[in-house]
């Protein structure tokens, strides 16, 4: 079974600075998707960024970018110019599919990293 590990339960960053959240995963599959979700204090999960394993180029969404290292099975999230509104729990997630049937497997989440942004 696939597992997703987030080894940093808590992180903090100064406003306007850059922070990187780590995520590693374990899989024997070659094609899959990786996601970072944000859960603010309201607790409603929001997709931050998504990466397909076959794409070499790292995904970016405004101030959010990833460093995807497929061989190392690493998928870190970089937040640039951190803002107070970035304070949240961040979850890394993995999803693949059954090659024979094409059916998607379930989304597997890491345990999360609580990010604090200091003014």
Partner 1 sequence: DGGITQSPKYLFRKEGQNVTLSCEQNLNHDAMYWYRQDPGQGLRLIYYSQIVNDFQKGDIAEGYSVSREKKESFPLTVTSAQKNPTAFYLCASSERDLSYNEQFFGPGTRLTVL
Nearer of residues 20 and 45 to partner 1, judged by Cβ: 45
Nearer of residues 102 and 119 to partner 1, judged by Cβ: 102
H helix runs in the chain, sequence order: none
Nearer of residues 6 and 82 to partner 1, judged by Cβ: 6
- Nearest distance, CB of residue 72 and partner 1, angstroms: 21
- Kindly write down the DSSP assignment for every residue of 6-30, as one continuous string: ---SEEEEETTS-EEE--EEE-S-S
- Nearest distance, CB of residue 61 and partner 1, angstroms: 12
Radius of gyration of the chain (CA): 14
């Amino acid at each position: 079974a696939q597992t997703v590990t987030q080894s940093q339960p808590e992180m903090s960053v100064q406003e306007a600075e850059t922070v990187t959240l780590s995520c590693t995963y374990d899989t024997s599959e070659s094609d899959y998707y990786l996601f970072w979700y944000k859960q603010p204090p309201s607790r409603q999960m929001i997709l931050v960024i998504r990466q397909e394993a076959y794409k070499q180029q790292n995904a970016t969404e405004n101030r959010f970018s990833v460093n995807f290292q497929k061989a190392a099975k690493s998928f870190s999230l970089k937040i640039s110019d951190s803002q107070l509104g970035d304070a949240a729990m961040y979850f890394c997630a993995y999803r693949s599919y059954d090659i024979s049937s094409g059916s998607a497997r379930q989304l597997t989440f890491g345990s999360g990293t609580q990010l604090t942004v200091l003014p």
